[in-house]
Amino acid sequence: MDKPSTRHRILMEAEKQFIALGIATVQMKDIASAVNINRRTLYRYFPTKDELAFEIEIIVMKQLQDYFTLDIGDITNKTGFEKVTAYFFQVDLDKVKEQIKLTAEFDRYFQGNYPNPDLEQSFIEALNPNQDPLFHYIRDGVTDGSIRNDMTVEELYHFISHSFIALFQRLILRENHLKYEYCDNIDFNKAFRNIILSGIRRT
């Protein structure tokens, strides 16, 4: 088996450190040391920590997209609402916990501009809703009348997806605390699913 490339090893190590310690805390010298290269070599691949973090976030977003391309079984003759329902019943966030944790850290760290135009374009392309089956299921539902049509497909999709990620970012980051505070008996996954489904269903 071929050894991972230096670039790949840098990305893997940086992702691990960013998740464990936070992007702001990790220094480029720490990554270089862990990968057993000097800083000059690291900067040749990634001139800044921001560029490195953006590349990792794009990779993580694609990993999440791959996961959320869920098998919901035979969709023949199913309404869009039934497809969305089947989709949410298949979601298991434990399988993408580390990726969601990284997106939370990324959102907290980056509040300014993109590091460069190429990464900006790659980042925007990774956000394309057409790559998410949920977007198509919602569109099917609006078209067939099973999902409310007083909002656009884009509005429904972005509200659901952003609410979904934001809620579970918080749950993952505060997982141990919430068990001992006020949320120990709440199934947030089930509650979120029920609220969303009841909210989008056309009656």
- Averaged over successive runs of 10 residues, the pLDDT of the chain (203 residues) comes to 78 92 93 95 95 93 86 88 93 86 89 87 88 94 96 95 88 74 73 93 89
Architecture of domain 49-200: Orthogonal Bundle (1.10)
Domain boundaries, the chain: 1-47, 49-200
Q: Which two tokens stand for residue 186?
A: 């709440």
Cβ atoms of residues 67 and 96 within 8 Å: yes
Class of domain 1-47: mainly alpha
The reported pLDDT for the residue numbered 182 is 64
What is the model's pLDDT at position 179? Answer: 65
What pLDDT does 2 receive? 45
What integer pLDDT is reported at residue 159 of this predicted model?
Answer: 95
d(CA 80, CA 78): 7
- CA dist 60 and 74 (Å) reads 28
Q: Which residues, at least 6 apart from 31, have a Cβ–Cβ distance to it below 8 Å?
A: 10, 13, 14, 17, 42, 52
pLDDT digits (tens, 9 = 90+) for 2-21: 457 999 999 999 999 998 89
Model pLDDT, residue 1? 41
As to burial, measured by CB atoms within 10 angstroms (0-12 exposed, 13-18 middle, 19+ buried), residue 105 is: buried
Same CATH fold assignment for domains 1-47 and 49-200:
no
Dihedral of the alpha carbons of 35, 37, 40, 42, in degrees to the nearest 10: -20
**What is this structure's pTM?**
0.84
**pLDDT the model gives residue 76:** 87
**Given this model, what pLDDT does residue 160 score?**
94
- Give the model's pLDDT for residue 184: 61
The pLDDT, as a whole number, for residue 108 is 87
Interatomic CA distance for residues 201 and 195, integer angstroms: 10
The SS3 assignment for 147 reads: strand
